[in-house]
Structure 1
Amino acid sequence: MEKIENVIDYSYFINTFAGRRRPALTRELTKRQYNAPKESISLAEGMPNEVTFPIAAMNIVLKDGSSFNLTGSSLNAGLQYIPSQGYPPLIETLKDFTRQIHDPPKWSDRDIIVTNGSQDGISKSLEMIVEEGDSVLVQNPLYTGTEIILKPFKVNLLGIPQDHHGIIPAKLVEILENCRENYTEEGGGKMPKCMYINPTASNPTGVTMPLERRREIYRICCKYNILILEDDAYYFLHFLDEKPTSFLNLDTEGRVMRFDSLSKVLSSGLRLGWLTGPKQLVQNIELHVQSSYLHSSSLSQVLVDNLLKHWGFDKLLQQFDSVRSYYKARRDLTLASMERHLKGLCDWTVPTGGMFVWIKVRNVSDVYEMLMTRGAKKLITFVPGHAFMADPTEACNYIRASFSKTNPKKIDKAMQLLAELIREEQVLLRRKLENCT
């Protein structure tokens, strides 16, 4: 990709409220103490003494038969306050991991911060960027957790239509040009400052954006000064022959904030993710963390750091491969069941990763009541597509089905009952139409 040089004014992406944040001195001293010489003496931190903690040791036994212990200073760190950015050894481990996986350009201008999963990083980033009444670019359909973050800001969600390769570049340009034409100094038709995108095994569609499409989207964002919020929770759950190229890898300008998570590949309950982005923006998010929950779980961070060191890079990737194979097999079983029961009633594309199938119901304009009322009577639960649309009030004939957890035999039964439900709904709609005519 051609090298693009552009100096970005990051203050443009920090709203008035976030711009007022200032460091907490005690938190800054905690960070400093972690890097201080051993002989230094500090009476600054208001920390409890570790000798008062009742836990003496933890033995972590893994399914591969190996184990490791948390004791001494390592355990104490897991039970104690740590810097808001994260447990320093884990920060270095994650930086090394990110460099090896994504090889981002301009690495010296970036930083990372540990978050309580991807959702926490996305939330704090949007709360830093967005002001009430702003316009925000989102893929349509989009991950529903993003819409609930934005709702209190009363934003104008600019939904970018997708095809089987993800968001459509021409549609993105069309939306941006429309914003530019309607822009006024008084605030009318505000130009969006950021775009939320879920490019690998997108939730809910299961679509993975190919490299050339990503390059084209990135060039458009450079032209219109758009910050890319790359939510890639399913990056390690793709079902492709080659791992996708991330927007972070393409980011020659420094306009990508990337959200990674271990929820899908290690444990969702650990609530451990990390955000990679331009230093100025990451530092502002750190100030937000200082003023809210101080830092993500110390114990989760120390446990994961020890696990990654115990396994090593190659073993970690083997774990990812194992998880990927598990979900790919479940996807295939689910698609086979859909072929048996839903063929002729629905349309779908084969998910290229993740945990979901995005199903379009034929001859039913809106599936909400069908699923939420009549589906409940059949004791089956699917998510109506409304939950993922930029405008959830519009009629929607899409359904999201998850194949991650339910027993395959029960998935087959659910698809059989869904087929019955759709047929019944189609009969009801025909009768209504006949009565109207």
Structure 2
Amino acid sequence: MNYNRFLNVTSLSRKPSPIRVLTGILQQAPPSTISMAGGRPNPSLFPINGVSISLSNGTKLDIEPNLVQKALQYSATPGLSEMLDWIKMLQKNIHNPPTLTSTDENQKLDMLVIPGSQDGLCKAFEAMISKKDNVLIEIPSYSGTLAIVKPIGSYYIGVDSDEHGLIPGKLKEALSKWSPEESKNPNSDIPKLLYCIPNGGNPTGHSLTLQRKEEIYRICQDYDLFLIEDDPYYYLQYDQPYIPSFLSMDVDGRVLRFDSFSKLLSSGMRVGVVTGPKAIVNRIALHMQASVMHTSGISQVLMFKVLENMGLEGFKDHVKTVANFYKSQRDACIKAANKHLTGLVEWNVPNSGMFLWMKLMGVSDSFQLITEKAREKEVLFVPGNAFMLDSEKPCPYVRASFSESSPEDMDKAFQRLAEVLIEAKNN
């Protein structure tokens, strides 16, 4: 893998921050080391002496004083060692990536604790996309990702998805104007990057089958595409066993995977993980050195202590509980949709995540209906144009989230939406 091919001039020009490097060195240095090199504040002036957290099962966790002090001080950019070690164990156990023990330093798997996967995605795109690049992106797609990539000024090629996720045939079709050999030509405008959400897609709720994943990976190999696997809903697959990740089949080191704890433990802590080849992960870390410096130490310590208390098997049990809850929410959502929206709306039943993607029948554009008429009925949805590359183009789709609403409220919401659609049809 020629990783420089996937990085832009700005990213390749980033150099390690000397102070950030020293912070990492100091974190691993013997206790007898005397440092007058850094700009760390004196911790004796921090007004926090201790931290404890109460879990929903009644357990109280008192965090060790040395770990509290670690959390309150500047730390190395990759993450606190305790959190990193736990994540490495988790990724090996769940995905067992083929490149985990690669002897190629650039290809060898690396991990980075990031302040939410959104921030990591932003830094990855800013490292890998240049103006006027051709970039392949699953459509419809997460609005947060579109907000990142659109201002860069590249040419985005939408790859359609259906109820089984991104369609391999559509990916081949999008690449049909180029031959695989062109990937070896540095002057070619052939796309170098593919972005997709493989499980419980936001907004569609769709998930890739294993067969499609294998086919997509082979296409990426043929055209030397780098694949960004944005997978915050991996553990929200309703059925076991989990469909293997792209990372788990990545023999080349061409997958950059984003995981998030937001849907599982806490969204406000802002803790995510990026896993991928060291040559790419390091570029994101260098960007972090120049921006946030590192993910919140307190957030990392709180997250680590919760995970440590659970243990690996406890974590697996917890995420199954979370997935089962969303499955029951999905069932209630579909029940309400069948009751009120049959004949007015079309949808596919999601098998993971927390979203229902609906096509309004006989409606060319959902925007006004949802942002005006539905709000007048006191019900909120997201119009589908928010998830399209061309947000000005009419779109008949709507995204509904079933994560928080009770079954009773979902029933009322779809009844109100039905009233809006019937009124619009009659007018």
- The TM-score, its normalising length taken from structure 1, stands at 0.93
* In 2: Cα distance, 1:234 partner to 1:130 partner: 25
CA contact (8 A) 2:333 2:402 kept: yes
Q: State yes or no: 1:97 paired with 2:90.
A: yes
* In 2: Cα distance, 1:266 partner to 1:395 partner: 37
> 1:435: which partner in 2?
none
Q: Could you give the per-residue CA deviations for residues 379-402 of structure 1, whole angstroms, max 9, x where no partner exists?
A: 111111111112222211111001
Q: State yes or no: 1:397 paired with 2:396.
A: yes
> 1:380: which partner in 2?
379
Q: State yes or no: 1:25 paired with 2:18.
A: yes
Structure 1 unaligned regions, length at least 5: 1-7, 429-437
* In 1: Cα distance, 2:162 partner to 2:310 partner: 39
Q: Which amino acid aligns with 1:219?
A: R
Change (3 A) 1:13 1:186: closer
Change (3 A) 1:46 1:138: same
* In 2: Cα distance, 1:163 partner to 1:322 partner: 27
- Give secondary structure in 1 for the equivalent of 2:175: helix
Which of 13, 29, 37 matches 1:44?
37
CA contact (8 A) 1:56 1:71 kept: no
* In 2: Cα distance, 1:297 partner to 1:26 partner: 18
* In 2: Cα distance, 1:125 partner to 1:140 partner: 19
Matches within 5 A, 1:103-252: 103-108=96-101, 109-179=108-178, 190-252=189-251
> 1:357: which partner in 2?
356
- C-alpha displacement of 1:180: 5.1
CA contact (8 A) 2:138 2:159 kept: yes
* In 1: Cα distance, 2:43 partner to 2:304 partner: 20
CA contact (8 A) 1:180 1:189 kept: no
> 2:104: which partner in 1?
none
- The TM-score, its normalising length taken from structure 2, stands at 0.95
Matches within 5 A, 1:79-94: 79-94=72-87
* In 2: Cα distance, 1:56 partner to 1:35 partner: 23
Q: Could you give the per-residue CA deviations for residues 170-225 of structure 1, whole angstroms, max 9, x where no partner exists?
A: 111111122559x8999998211111110011111111111111000000001111
CA contact (8 A) 2:370 2:380 kept: yes
* In 1: Cα distance, 2:393 partner to 2:189 partner: 24
CA contact (8 A) 2:183 2:190 kept: no
CA contact (8 A) 2:366 2:397 kept: yes
Q: Over aligned residues, Cα RMSD in angstroms?
A: 1.8
* In 1: Cα distance, 2:98 partner to 2:24 partner: 27
Change (3 A) 1:186 1:193: closer
- Give secondary structure in 2 for the equivalent of 1:147: helix
Q: State yes or no: 1:343 paired with 2:342.
A: yes
> 2:367: which partner in 1?
368
Which of 65, 69, 74 matches 1:76?
69
Percent of counterpart pairs with the same letter?
39
* In 2: Cα distance, 1:187 partner to 1:385 partner: 37
* In 1: Cα distance, 2:268 partner to 2:179 partner: 43
* In 2: Cα distance, 1:163 partner to 1:228 partner: 19
